[in-house]
Amino acid sequence: MHLTDEQMDLVKELETFREIWEALTEPHKPSGRTAKINSLRYLVTLEMEEREGTDMFIKKRQLALEQALPTGKKIDEDIKFDLTLGALPD
C-alpha cells in the first residue's frame, strides 16, 4: 500500500493497524448534516429481507434509530410503528 507524505505524517507514530486505519479513514467519513441525512435515509428505506429473522431485523432497526437520532431525542411511537410495519415483507 502506498501512502502519501501527508498520510505518513498522520500515522508515523501510531502502533496498531486499527489506529492507522482510523486515522486514514476518519477524514473521509460523512459528518454533520450529511451523516444525519444518510442515517435518516437508511432508517426510512430499511426493509426486512425475507430470509432475515425477526430478531435480527429488530436489532438492525434499533441501531438505525439510534444512529438517526441525536442523543436524548425521541421519535414518536406511532411513527416508529409505521416505519417498522412498512419495512416488513408483503
33-65: per-residue pLDDT in tens? 787 888 888 888 999 988 888 899 988 988 888
Q: What is the pLDDT of residue 74?
A: 81
Asked if 70 and 49 sit in the same domain, the reply is yes
> Is 58 found in the same domain as 26?
no
| Owning domain of residue 6 | 1-30
Residue written as grid cell 426493509: 47
pLDDT of residue 1: 64
**Mean pLDDT of all residues in 20-27:** 83
Query: pTM, whole model, 2 decimals?
Result: 0.55
Q: Is 18 in the same domain as 43?
A: no
73 pLDDT more than 80: no
Residue 6 is placed in which grid cell? Answer: 501527508
**Rounded distance, CA 79 to CA 57, Å?**
17
Give 81: exposed, middle or buried? Use CB within 10 Å, 0-12, 13-18, 19+.
Answer: exposed
Beta carbons of 87 and 55 less than 8 angstroms apart: no
Q: Are residues 78 and 48 in the same domain?
A: yes
